[in-house]
């Protein structure tokens, strides 16, 4: 009897909370409808024009990104191209890879998907054998490594798969979440809730690098192992 009473009480509390939430949503909608009803033709026209301008700006931004090579996952041939690419775009993810490393192929598949989804970010790959100077300057010792570059400065690294659940079977969503933690793409989910269970006990306290220009004389990596 006591257990049944507890369940019934909990059900009533839950029902009341649901009713209150529904009421708040309805009141908000009523308020928005009332605002629209009270607008005259000039105000409605102004609102319409404002939204059209926002759409045009978004379309112009999209075209600008596409013209700079966003929207695809591309290989660049040399270190010189790397410097030019990061100079052109605000947010860049560059995969330092080697043909003989299996995990690089795994990353490739996920990066192709993310490059098409996140036009705001440029996705590149560079063969480490063609970039000895850059790898030395960035202290890249583990393959694969993702260099996350924002405003021409390297903000973070994803070294190996340790931040991705430490498994080869991580999902694209997991990589998307990890990149979102460094604000290198626009992540729409909850950054405090990783897509994989094993990361929850560690949280999102990744070691962040001091922001330095890539051409700086000093550059310290936060890790050199997976």
Q: Is residue 21 part of a domain?
A: no
Q: Is residue 81 part of a domain?
A: yes
What CATH number does the domain containing 129 carry?
3.40.30.10
pLDDT for position 116: 97
Q: Is residue 177 part of a domain?
A: yes
Pairing of strands 122-127, 91-97: parallel
> What is the number of domains present in the chain?
1
Q: Is residue 14 part of a domain?
A: no
pLDDT for position 142: 96
Q: Is residue 103 part of a domain?
A: yes
Q: Is residue 113 part of a domain?
A: yes
Q: Is residue 111 part of a domain?
A: yes
Q: Is residue 22 part of a domain?
A: no
Residue 206 DSSP class: P
pLDDT, tens digit, 9 for 90 and up, residues 30-79: 777 777 667 777 777 777 788 888 888 888 989 999 999 999 999 999 99
Residue span of the structural domain in which 121 resides: 66-181
User: Do the Cβ atoms of 126 and 75 come closer than 8 Å?
Assistant: yes
pLDDT, tens digit, 9 for 90 and up, residues 127-170: 999 999 999 999 999 999 999 999 999 999 999 999 998 999 99
pLDDT, tens digit, 9 for 90 and up, residues 86-103: 999 999 999 999 999 999
Question: 150: alpha, beta or left, given left = phi > 0 and alpha = psi -120 to 50?
Answer: beta
């Amino acid at each position: 009897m006591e257990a049944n009473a507890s369940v019934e009480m909990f059900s009533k509390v839950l029902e009341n909370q649901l009713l209150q939430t529904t009421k708040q949503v309805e009141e908000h909608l009523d308020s928005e409808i009332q605002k629209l009803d009270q607008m005259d033709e000039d105000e409605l026209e102004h609102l319409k024009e404002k939204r059209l301008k926002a759409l045009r700006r978004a379309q112009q931004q999209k075209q600008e990104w596409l013209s700079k090579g966003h929207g695809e996952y591309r290989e660049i041939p040399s270190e010189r191209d790397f410097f030019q690419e990061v100079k052109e775009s605000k947010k860049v993810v560059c995969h330092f890879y080697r043909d003989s490393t299996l995990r690089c192929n795994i990353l490739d598949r996920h990066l192709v998907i993310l490059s098409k989804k996140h036009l705001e970010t440029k996705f590149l790959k560079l063969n480490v054998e063609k970039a000895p100077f850059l790898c030395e300057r960035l202290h890249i010792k583990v393959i694969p490594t993702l260099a996350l570059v924002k405003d021409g400065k390297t903000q973070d690294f994803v070294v190996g798969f340790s931040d991705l659940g430490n498994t080869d079977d991580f999902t694209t969503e997991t990589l998307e979440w990890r990149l979102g933690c460094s604000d290198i793409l626009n992540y729409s989910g909850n950054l405090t809730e990783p897509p994989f269970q094993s990361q929850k006990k560690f949280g999102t306290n990744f070691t962040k690098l001091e922001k330095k220009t890539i051409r700086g004389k000093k550059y310290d990596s936060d890790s050199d192992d997976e």
